[in-house]
Chain A
Amino acid sequence: RKEVEQDPGPFNVPEGATVAFNCTYSNSASQSFFWYRQDCRKEPKLLMSVYSSGNEDGRFTAQLNRASQYISLLIRDSKLSDSATYLCVVKERGSTLGRLYFGRGTQLTVWP
């Protein structure tokens, strides 16, 4: 059983579209949640943390539903530069220092 599951996509959307990604995690004791972004042939980089109350950073909104063990990322007004793979990441409560579990990622392509 995978710790973190994501729809791999690909999602192909036009500029200006709104797109949403979903992610589920298996361990109810999970403590911290993140979205990382990985450009083609580059390293992953933190996009945003996900808080229980939901949080927004510009065009990006992250939501967490602990009861359903579900995390989402909403991107509004998509830009060409948003094309990348989005990785859902979970840290478990009490886990070994710094241990993160990564989903396989959801690929997004924004076209002009």
Chain B
Amino acid sequence: DTAVSQTPKYLVTQMGNDKSIKCEQNLGHDTMYWYKQDSKKFLKIMFSYNNKELIINETVPNRFSPKSPDKAHLNLHINSLELGDSAVYFCASSHSGGGTDTQYFGPGTRLTVL
């Protein structure tokens, strides 16, 4: 009965590799997000999709490419990983409209680039 799930939970990889993180929500929400939380705990939005359409695309390197195959899934692919990509990546979802802005977060993916 997990609401927002992410896989993998931990990811350790070498510089230069390509990796993907998957996110799924079963809340029936129409908007999904990717956030990055760095070592200083600052949580910053990277991307947001509403009904599979990209609506927020922050200034992130184009090595990061989100993909939303359907409203319940938002995956993040990262090419040519760099040391500075090490962080915790959180997926989140929410329901647009309806007077609520509550975002529900997944458990996070802790990425370590060596």
Interface: B103 (CB within 8 A)? yes
Contacting pair B45 A99 (CB below 8 A): yes
Interface residues in chain B, defined as those with a beta carbon under 8 Å from any beta carbon in chain A: 31, 33, 40-45, 48, 50, 55-56, 90, 94, 96, 101-103, 105-108
Q: Which residues of B contact A34 (CB under 8 A)?
A: 101-102
Q: How far is the CA of A69 from the CA of B106 in the complex (A)?
A: 30
Interface size class of A (residues with CB under 8 A): 20 to 34
Given A43-B106, A43-B108, A44-B105: A96 and B42 within 8 A (CB)?
no
Contacting pair A97 B31 (CB below 8 A): yes
Contacting pair B31 A104 (CB below 8 A): no
Q: Which of A43, A46, A91, A98 is the one whose CB lies under 8 Å from B33?
A: A98
Contacting pair A102 B55 (CB below 8 A): no
> Can you pick out 13 interface pairs between chain A and chain B where the beta carbons lie within 8 Å of each other?
A34-B101, A41-B108, A43-B90, A43-B106, A43-B107, A44-B105, A46-B102, A97-B56, A98-B48, A98-B50, A98-B56, A100-B101, A102-B42
Q: Which residues of B contact A87 (CB under 8 A)?
A: 43
Interface residues in chain A, defined as those with a beta carbon under 8 Å from any beta carbon in chain B: 32, 34, 41-46, 49, 85, 87, 91, 96-100, 102, 104-105
Q: How far is the CB of B60 from chain A (nearest CB, A)?
A: 15
Given A43-B90, A46-B102: A97 and B55 within 8 A (CB)?
yes
Q: Which residues of B contact A105 (CB under 8 A)?
A: 41
Q: How far is the CB of B96 from chain A (nearest CB, A)?
A: 5
Contacting pair A96 B56 (CB below 8 A): yes
Q: Which of A44, A46, A96 is the one whose CB lies under 8 Å from B48?
A: A96
Q: Which residues of A contact B31 (CB under 8 A)?
A: 97-98
Q: Which of A32, A97, A104 is the one whose CB lies under 8 Å from B41?
A: A104
Q: How far is the CA of A46 from the CA of B13 in the complex (A)?
A: 32
Q: How far is the CB of B59 from chain A (nearest CB, A)?
A: 14
